[in-house]
Amino acid sequence: MKQQQSLPSIVTLTEIEEIVSTDSFALDLIDAIKKGFLSYSKGGFNACPIQTMGAPPMAPFSGRGSSSDYDDDGNYQAQTCVKSGYVTGAFHYVIKVASGGHPFPHNSGLMQLYSQSTGKLETILLDEGILTELRTAAVGALAAQLLAPSVLMAGNNGDARCCVGMLGTGIQARYQLQYLAHVIKCRNVKVWGRTKEHVQQYIKDMTAEGWNVSSVDTPQDLLTSCSLIVTTTSSREPLLKYTAAADNSIKHPLHITCIGSDATGKMELDPKLAATADLLVADCSLQTAERGEFEDALKQQLVELDSVVELG
């Protein structure tokens, strides 16, 4: 008699949004991310090589459709990432697919949960990329909690040094502030973006969430006026540049959390600027040579891989 096949359970986007919308979830996620990094650096987490499609060195995606959202304006940033891994001795392993970037009109994605004992697909999370966004935001919050200057924790918003700099105005720039609110008391923000309309909308939206937000004319302005900078763009050339004048003008403790450079060739920091840091921290030392803000600094021999410390 043929055995009846059991289908995997499906968790919808609506169900996921209801769960992740609470403050308790955000705090639990930051704590879980912390435990994950500790596990990885101790050898307990098994991370497979990342697959990135649609971005250099691979060919861009075709079939952009007829919608004006897909017009080729020279700002192609679309990509699909496949990430997977598991904790040794745990019950499950996970495969995640996440897509996003211009000219895609929206982020998309899902997560697949498999049993380590049977290899059977047990659950599909139809999250449309939201869990990826929140995980990334939680990492940013954790990095700030562990490494950001103490002036941000004190919450003296009258102190000129009490300021967060946001490079970019997209969805991750919003999630970063939402999760930072759980670990720092500072509520002053300066933002830079390429498009004036997007900057204005970002200021309006984040002001409504309780932040004191203003704009700056150039990314360099963030270096001299903020104690924490979060970079969230898809740039492939340095936006925060190293100059002798900038180096001399940074007299205060400064932490930079680099989020946007998630694929080979992406870059938001001048490699020379990265080389001036007192401490270089990465999520994964093995990946840092092939993607991330230290990729070019390592290639130019401005820093040594041994000098990069894992967050865990």
> pLDDT truncated to tens, each residue of the chain (312 aa)?
566 678 999 999 999 999 999 889 999 999 999 999 999 999 999 989 889 999 888 899 986 543 344 344 567 889 999 999 999 999 999 999 999 888 888 889 999 999 999 999 999 999 999 999 999 999 999 999 999 999 999 878 888 889 999 999 999 999 999 999 999 999 999 999 999 999 999 999 999 999 999 999 999 999 989 999 999 998 888 889 887 666 666 768 999 999 987 777 788 889 899 889 999 998 888 788 777 788 888 889 998 988 889 898
Contacts with 56 (C-beta within 8 Å, 6 or more apart), sequence order: 263, 264, 265
Output the pTM of the full model: 0.87
- Tell me the backbone φ, ψ of residue 178, rounded to 5 degrees: -60, -40
Which value, to the nearest 10 degrees, does the dihedral of the CA atoms of residues 223, 226, 229, 235 take?
-40
Contacts of 28 (CB under 8 A, 6+ apart): none
Rounded CA separation 106/224 (Å): 34
Instruction: Give CA–CA dist 142/287, Å, rounded.
Output: 19
